[in-house]
Structure 1
Amino acid sequence: MSCCAHGVELTAAIGRASSQDEIALASRDLGNGSWQTSLSVPGMHCGTCIQSVEEALSRLPQVERARANLTTRRVAVTWRGTAPPDMIAALAAVGYKAHLDEAEERTFDPEMARLIRALAVSGFAAMNIMMLSVSIWSGAEAETRQAFHWISAALALPTLIYSGGIFYRSAWAALRRGRTNMDVPISIGITLAFGLSLYDTLHHGHQAYFDAATSLIFFLLIGRTLDHAMRQRARGVIGSLIRLSPRGATVERSDGSRDYLPIGEIEPGMAIILAVGDRVPVDGRVVSGTSSLDCALATGESMPVAVTTGSFVQAGALNLSAPVRLVAAARARDSFLAEMTRLMEAAEDGRARYRRIADRAARLYSPVVHLAAFLTFLGWMAVNGDWHNATSIAIAVLIITCPCALGLAVPIVQVVAARRLFDAGIMMKDGSAIERLAEVEAVCFDKTGTLTIGTPRADLRGVAPEALEIAGLLARHSSHPVSQAIAMAAPGAAGRHADLSEVSEQAGLGLEAHLDGQRYRLGRASWALDAQSAADGTVLSCNGKEIARFAIAETLRPGAVETVKLLRHAGLSVTILSGDRSSAVAGIAKALDIEDFAAGLLPGDKVARLAQAKAEGRRTLMVGDGLNDAPALSAAHVSMAPATAADIGRSTADFVFLYDSLAAIPAALDIAHKAGRLVRQNFAIAIGYNALAIPVAMAGYVTPLLAALAMSVSSVIVVANALRLRPAGHTIEEEVAPSAERLRMVAAK
């Protein structure tokens, strides 16, 4: 082997090593030896592509799972080991170029620009050829007809090469690797239509189907452009989240110097200076300064949220009033905003029962259609022996059976439903979840953090105003939830803060301070009082004597009462599964009028309850938020979690709702039922169209031009039907009333 050849091999080897190093650095550590890598695969455009990409990656020995996302044209690969497998080479072997995913948003979509240019060329040619065809059909003389045919051929040829190249390239990429896709019969159909028309023109025939070939390309490109635009619409939601994350932040070094670092270089522990008008770049904690943040994205809170030293802030929140200093608690890719982005990107990853049926139908399409066209050709040759007529009818069969409507039936509905849910403040992780949600017959709630919110409420009945003022002064020195509840309930007494002295907090016990020469304690009765208290609780004492006692109660999550009533009215059973003490669970159950509840449950106990429900044939929706709920969320038929849930809870749940209100649950159920109906309608439209069109085309009653028109109309009808999933209201509360009525109708059926 020559030195030059050795050099080429060495360069290629170095390139592969460099690529593998980059993949390793960009991979996310999932723990337990597993890693996840996100690759961009721009060549994916149909269900067959998804299957090919996932199968190619799954064959690699280190790969545990590969999930392709057609909307974003990305694939998430989970693998094990110390070094990543050669995923890019594996995809290249089956005809797909791949590269590391880029976090930065693209303002220019080259695929959309290419589709629009191809659509414009085909539209121009189709309209002009149609005008010439009208003259021919009107009875033009032989010389005029022949001239018009040649002009039509001159317009059609560049259209096939440029606009039809989109289908030709895809078909060739499939054929050269021994597989087929829906673009193969399309390419054959338009090529045969053009070839037969050119033959007729050369032999002075009366008819030519240049109009059919160009119109077919035009209508197919309309469907493909609409599909791409719809997917970009869902991708636009993700882009809106990405835009909320700044490209960098001002970092303060240990020596006091400041640098502006790209967001990808910010590490946990770095000090960040957040100016007014800046968005929080990564999750962090305030170490100095007081301000108000717009946290609508993270929590759905419509009012500004006050933050001060010790407050935890999430990426994407907007700083409104004053500069603050943060300490980063996570990298950008591990922050809340990045997680929300991944949730939206995962909306199409899971393929439900309907989606799998559509994929199987698309895989069967090519051989079935080729066989039907071939049998049609043989049949008409046997009938009249006219190869020209037989070929024309076979072309019509190829064109009219294009499975665009069937291929769009499910993904279009799921894309629209994902956007619909996002508008209602709900993130969908898995496309199959929307179908599973429509099947639920029971709803199980965790209590703490789900039916209730983390902020307790102080009952002030029987507390003297002066005692409440002193309690408020003490409580404002602690971030403990009970102290915060008392501080919120107490009247403002900022003028007396200077009178407090020697303020200290005893962990797990309470607060102590001196005021006007007296010692005050706020906390556990057993600690605050000199004498033994008969009943423990939260008390305010002066020199060891009780002067006020506070009853602390949990606060129901907004919309909890209405949501439970709504679910029960819809025929769904409602249960509380909680690990809290029995008295606390019973009180919440009574407030919500829920008769079926269980307390003191361990995580395994909740899973066992859900397994029992499954064995009894009941499909259950689990709604929980904590670390102890993660096994139950995973075991349930479908699951939801609030945005305030623990990280593992949000990761495990199929849906995450951003608003505080539980009204998100009936709203999501409503969307799920509507999406299910639309999917069934789309399948009925696609199947009905093919059942009617194929026999008519095989009988010879359809020209290639009419076949192109019929196929395109069916696709447009399916897309239009999916778009009937109307936009969300302005607030989640606007969804409750219509959701209640529709859920009642579903239950009645």
Structure 2
Amino acid sequence: MSCCAPPLDPHEAFDGRAAQREMRLASRDLGNGLRQSDLAVPGLHCAGCIRTVEAGLARLPGVAHVRVNLSTKRVAVQWQGEEPPELLAALAGLGYPGHLFESEAERSDPDLARLIRALAVAGFCAMNIMLLSVSVWSGAEAETRRAFHWISAALALPCLIYSGRIFFVSAWSALRRGRTNMDVPISIGISLAFALSLYDTVHDAPHAYFDAATSLIFFLLIGRTLDHLMREKARTAVRGLMRLSPRGATVLGADGSRHYLPLAEIEPGMRIAIVAGDRIPVDGDVAEGTSELDCAVVTGESAPRPVALGACVQAGTLNLSGSLIIRATARAGDSFLAEMVRLMEAAEGGRARYRRIADRAAALYSPVVHATAFLAFLGWMAASGDWHRAVTVAIAVLIITCPCALGLAVPIVQVVASRRLFEAGIMVKDGSAIERLAEIDSAVFDKTGTLTLGQPRLANTGEIAPADLAIAAALARSSSHPFSRAIAAAAPADTVVLSGLREQPGLGLEARYGGVLYRLGQAAWALGESSQAEGGGTVLSRDGALLARFRFEETLRPQTAAALAALLAAGVDVALLSGDTPAAAGVVADRLGIDTVAAGLPPAQKVARLDALAGEGRKVLMVGDGLNDTPALAAAHVSMAPASAADIGRNAADFVFLHEGLGAVPTALAVSRAAGRLVSQNFALAILYNALALPVAIAGQVTPLIAALAMSLSSILVVANALRLDPRLSPRRSEAAGEVSMSLAPALERGK
């Protein structure tokens, strides 16, 4: 992997005319004369890369705006004019070859396998050199020492050539263009340590520093590999959303002929045939037929929605029963599902600000350390005139200030905290989410499947005559509708034998019993024009006369009320955002005492609400489970989903809790806040260590061996401090720290 890969000749890399034609076809119309092209740039990996690409493309004629998403390695360029700018040629000239982003979500990161191989080589070499160094530093005989030094040199060479090339190629590419990046000082340090070690080996010196060079490569590659793994996890949610879209659809011609067209070729106005079990390919209106749709991707609700002539349908929804013919109203790139993908990618782009801050900090750290080592070298040269002594002091400064302790300060606490959370039945999808969760001051919950189990329960069983309930249950057992399952569950074993049973898609069920027609379903259909249809809902009728009206209520998750009370006690505001009707959302909010409620929200409006809270400076936890919650989960400061959530929701969430109870939310908050305190302590220990060790090393009072031991001691200190994270988190300790009350602990233990 290289941050700045060697430039490609535009004429050799691609056919300019073909590239421009594809760029034009793949661009999206934003209105007001603006179009947007999305490019994949695999070479992006730090803040310097982002600045270079954004500044370089912004200078092209016609370019209005450039945004780089470091998480997905995507560059979004807005441009004006009849023809797109020469974006791919410009990227190649900057040292960042790219291509159109169209299928990037379906492709794994090509750099990841390369990084893992490089990490394996560096780890093998570093560990073996360390073993040999133990004997050398312990006072081995001259012949043994000389042999071990040459063996170490032979092991270090493939580590530098194969594993170190990741840094060398990147540094050289930046220097060729008069720029610098964080790989430049890294490459200088590695090369200096290896060169001096080789010199000392040739001249039979008592010590060499091959272990320092290879270990530095190994630890740096660990961080870079983990970064790529996190980006790959971030892309899984986007890939899951894209899989909801079919590859094509059956289009009806004006003469009644049928043609299968790829999704990209479907245009507004085309008539598309949809059979039961198909997903809607693009947004459209129903031109013929009636059916029921699973709209969980839009509303998050499990109840099927009936559709008929003129109803709007959205891409990604699933046709459950009847056949439909829809008239497309948008292209695939402008459909609802594509909008959800863009919302998620925009949210991940915003989250990349945290990575940019970390990149800038790392980019500053290395130059400061190397500058300090260089000044130490100059000072000792001026004071003693012994270049070997000066270089040895400079290397000691580099080793003793190796950022291992600082690098471990956060991840080791995250590893320990992740284990504690796993023991409580909570999976952590992203290590950085632990520190983000500790910062929250607001928690936003979805309703169906989150606060409730998404399983309606018949609420008025006692008001319905047993004979009527038995007939309704006999009808309901032939349907998979959630309300039908609730009615069937409320009645005893089936003792009623029906005849002529059939389902009317989107309306209900009907059958004959004792020569009489019974209907179970929507009131307007079951009762016909009868005035008894007033009030709507689900009813049972006999020859059009009302027999029973069914009321349903949602089942709350276990521990929901206690969990919300614990969050409020911890100073976290609680709100409910739902795609369901205001009436349904209001009932649940009243039962749980939630004051802030917003209902009837599509995915984009949920994201807008979260953005508004973020604009007020709030740090928001989003807890949701449905497909429609996926963009909101990605956009929130931190997110959580139950294991029962849709695959896409689980992929987009930072935490997934395995138990049915909602007590996992305050438990995760308590662990995260405790981990946050340990991270602060680890940073203090690492900074104190460097503040004490650096002056001693500059003074020449530390040999490379002592420097290596001191560096290891600092790492051991932060690891030992991280292990202090108490798995019990007793109520007394949590209350003393002002944290979440752990009064839910017994219930959580029962949940296990």
Specify if TM > 0.5. yes
**Structure 1 partner of 2:70:** 69
**Structure 2 partner of 1:461:** 462
Could you say if the C-alpha distance between residues 714 and 100 of structure 1 is closer, same or farther in structure 2, counting changes exceeding 3 Å? farther
Give the Cα–Cα distance (whole angstroms) in 1 for the partners of residues 344 and 224 of structure 2: 20
CA drift at 1:662 = 7.3
CA drift at 1:118 = 4.4
Residue identity (%): 42
**Structure 2 partner of 1:112:** 115
**Aligned match for 1:657, one of 633, 638, 641:** 641
Give the Cα–Cα distance (whole angstroms) in 2 for the partners of residues 500 and 570 of structure 1: 54
Question: For residue 226 of structure 1, what is the amino acid of its counterpart?
Answer: I
**Normalization by structure 1: what TM-score?**
0.66
Give the conservation status (yes or no) of the 8 Å contact 1:193–1:392: no
CA drift at 1:393 = 0.9
Give the conservation status (yes or no) of the 8 Å contact 1:186–1:399: no
Q: CA-to-partner distance for each residue in 1:197-252, whole Å, 9 max, x for gaps? A: 555667x574453xx1x212321232134334434554665687769969998987
Give the Cα–Cα distance (whole angstroms) in 1 for the partners of residues 76 and 737 of structure 2: 39
Give the Cα–Cα distance (whole angstroms) in 2 for the partners of residues 488 and 114 of structure 1: 55
**Structure 2 partner of 1:558:** 557
Alignment of 1:373-452 (within 5 A): 373-403=373-403, 406=406, 424=426, 435-443=435-443, 451=451
Alignment of 1:309-320 (within 5 A): none
1:179 counterpart SS class: coil
**Structure 2 partner of 1:731:** none
**Aligned match for 2:626, one of 637, 643, 646:** 643
CA drift at 1:38 = 5.6
Give the Cα–Cα distance (whole angstroms) in 2 for the partners of residues 20 and 53 of structure 1: 19
Give the conservation status (yes or no) of the 8 Å contact 1:504–1:513: no
2:702 counterpart SS class: coil
Question: For residue 612 of structure 2, what is the amino acid of its counterpart?
Answer: A
Give the Cα–Cα distance (whole angstroms) in 2 for the partners of residues 483 and 323 of structure 1: 15
Q: CA-to-partner distance for each residue in 1:550-570, whole Å, 9 max, x for gaps? A: 252431442433432332454
1:696 counterpart SS class: helix
Could you say if the C-alpha distance between residues 630 and 225 of structure 1 is closer, same or farther in structure 2, counting changes exceeding 3 Å? closer
Could you say if the C-alpha distance between residues 454 and 590 of structure 1 is closer, same or farther in structure 2, counting changes exceeding 3 Å? same
Give the Cα–Cα distance (whole angstroms) in 1 for the partners of residues 257 and 412 of structure 2: 52
Question: For residue 221 of structure 1, what is the amino acid of its counterpart?
Answer: I
CA drift at 1:698 = 0.7
1:221 counterpart SS class: helix
Could you say if the C-alpha distance between residues 333 and 111 of structure 1 is closer, same or farther in structure 2, counting changes exceeding 3 Å? farther
**Structure 2 partner of 1:220:** 216
Give the conservation status (yes or no) of the 8 Å contact 1:567–1:573: yes
Give the conservation status (yes or no) of the 8 Å contact 2:524–2:533: no
Does 1:695 find its partner at 2:698?
no
Could you say if the C-alpha distance between residues 630 and 249 of structure 1 is closer, same or farther in structure 2, counting changes exceeding 3 Å? closer
Select between 217-226 and 552-561 the one with higher mean Cα deviation: 552-561
Give the conservation status (yes or no) of the 8 Å contact 2:602–2:628: yes
Alignment of 1:75-90 (within 5 A): 75-77=74-76, 79=78, 81=80, 85-90=85-90
Contiguous gaps of at least 5 residues in structure 2: 1-7, 646-659, 741-752
Give the conservation status (yes or no) of the 8 Å contact 2:670–2:739: no
Could you say if the C-alpha distance between residues 228 and 254 of structure 1 is closer, same or farther in structure 2, counting changes exceeding 3 Å? same
Give the conservation status (yes or no) of the 8 Å contact 1:568–1:574: yes
Could you say if the C-alpha distance between residues 25 and 597 of structure 1 is closer, same or farther in structure 2, counting changes exceeding 3 Å? same
CA drift at 1:115 = 0.6
Give the Cα–Cα distance (whole angstroms) in 2 for the partners of residues 152 and 646 of structure 1: 54
Does 1:634 find its partner at 2:608?
no
Could you say if the C-alpha distance between residues 154 and 283 of structure 1 is closer, same or farther in structure 2, counting changes exceeding 3 Å? same
Could you say if the C-alpha distance between residues 445 and 542 of structure 1 is closer, same or farther in structure 2, counting changes exceeding 3 Å? same
Q: CA-to-partner distance for each residue in 1:687-731, whole Å, 9 max, x for gaps? A: 23422332222121333465467657867987998899999xxxx
Give the conservation status (yes or no) of the 8 Å contact 2:159–2:214: no
1:657 counterpart SS class: strand
Could you say if the C-alpha distance between residues 717 and 29 of structure 1 is closer, same or farther in structure 2, counting changes exceeding 3 Å? farther
Give the Cα–Cα distance (whole angstroms) in 2 for the partners of residues 463 and 446 of structure 1: 32
Q: CA-to-partner distance for each residue in 1:345-365, whole Å, 9 max, x for gaps? A: 976861466x56543432322
Select between 355-364 and 343-352 the one with higher mean Cα deviation: 343-352
Q: CA-to-partner distance for each residue in 1:386-435, whole Å, 9 max, x for gaps? A: 333223212322343344654676688889999989x957877xx98765
Could you say if the C-alpha distance between residues 411 and 48 of structure 1 is closer, same or farther in structure 2, counting changes exceeding 3 Å? farther
Give the conservation status (yes or no) of the 8 Å contact 2:449–2:626: no
Give the Cα–Cα distance (whole angstroms) in 2 for the partners of residues 179 and 132 of structure 1: 42
Give the Cα–Cα distance (whole angstroms) in 2 for the partners of residues 13 and 160 of structure 1: 29
Question: For residue 696 of structure 1, what is the amino acid of its counterpart?
Answer: V
Give the conservation status (yes or no) of the 8 Å contact 2:314–2:335: no
Could you say if the C-alpha distance between residues 42 and 220 of structure 1 is closer, same or farther in structure 2, counting changes exceeding 3 Å? farther
Q: CA-to-partner distance for each residue in 1:98-142, whole Å, 9 max, x for gaps? A: 34454455598541354146427844883697489469x44538x
Give the Cα–Cα distance (whole angstroms) in 2 for the partners of residues 258 and 117 of structure 1: 55
Give the conservation status (yes or no) of the 8 Å contact 1:476–1:484: yes
Give the Cα–Cα distance (whole angstroms) in 2 for the partners of residues 247 and 500 of structure 1: 31
Could you say if the C-alpha distance between residues 710 and 243 of structure 1 is closer, same or farther in structure 2, counting changes exceeding 3 Å? farther
Question: For residue 610 of structure 2, what is the amino acid of its counterpart?
Answer: L
**Structure 2 partner of 1:97:** 97
Give the Cα–Cα distance (whole angstroms) in 1 for the partners of residues 583 and 162 of structure 2: 73
**Structure 1 partner of 2:351:** 350
Select between 239-248 and 447-456 the one with higher mean Cα deviation: 239-248
Give the conservation status (yes or no) of the 8 Å contact 1:230–1:412: no
Does 1:167 find its partner at 2:167?
yes
Could you say if the C-alpha distance between residues 224 and 472 of structure 1 is closer, same or farther in structure 2, counting changes exceeding 3 Å? same
2:396 counterpart SS class: helix
Give the Cα–Cα distance (whole angstroms) in 2 for the partners of residues 274 and 579 of structure 1: 25
1:642 counterpart SS class: coil
Give the conservation status (yes or no) of the 8 Å contact 1:272–1:325: yes
Q: CA-to-partner distance for each residue in 1:299-355, whole Å, 9 max, x for gaps? A: 999xxx999999x999899xxxx99999999969989799789959976861466x5
Q: CA-to-partner distance for each residue in 1:13-44, whole Å, 9 max, x for gaps? A: 97234334445555677888877766544434
1:700 counterpart SS class: coil
**Structure 2 partner of 1:592:** 592
Could you say if the C-alpha distance between residues 299 and 216 of structure 1 is closer, same or farther in structure 2, counting changes exceeding 3 Å? farther
**Normalization by structure 2: what TM-score?**
0.66
CA drift at 1:271 = 7.0
Does 1:183 find its partner at 2:168?
no
CA drift at 1:685 = 4.7
Q: CA-to-partner distance for each residue in 1:67-104, whole Å, 9 max, x for gaps? A: 4436x6x2352535576554444444443333445445
Give the Cα–Cα distance (whole angstroms) in 1 for the partners of residues 244 and 213 of structure 2: 42
Give the conservation status (yes or no) of the 8 Å contact 2:56–2:94: yes
Question: For residue 466 of structure 2, what is the amino acid of its counterpart?
Answer: P
CA drift at 1:369 = 2.5
Give the conservation status (yes or no) of the 8 Å contact 1:39–1:99: yes
Give the conservation status (yes or no) of the 8 Å contact 1:63–1:77: no
Could you say if the C-alpha distance between residues 57 and 455 of structure 1 is closer, same or farther in structure 2, counting changes exceeding 3 Å? farther
1:645 counterpart SS class: helix
1:498 counterpart SS class: strand
CA RMSD of aligned residues (A): 6.5
Give the Cα–Cα distance (whole angstroms) in 1 for the partners of residues 726 and 97 of structure 2: 37
1:635 counterpart SS class: helix
Could you say if the C-alpha distance between residues 705 and 411 of structure 1 is closer, same or farther in structure 2, counting changes exceeding 3 Å? same
Give the conservation status (yes or no) of the 8 Å contact 2:519–2:542: yes
Could you say if the C-alpha distance between residues 66 and 253 of structure 1 is closer, same or farther in structure 2, counting changes exceeding 3 Å? closer
Q: CA-to-partner distance for each residue in 1:662-694, whole Å, 9 max, x for gaps? A: 726446535643563464355335423422332
Question: For residue 633 of structure 1, what is the amino acid of its counterpart?
Answer: L
Give the conservation status (yes or no) of the 8 Å contact 1:351–1:432: no
Give the conservation status (yes or no) of the 8 Å contact 1:129–1:155: no
Question: For residue 114 of structure 2, what is the amino acid of its counterpart?
Answer: E
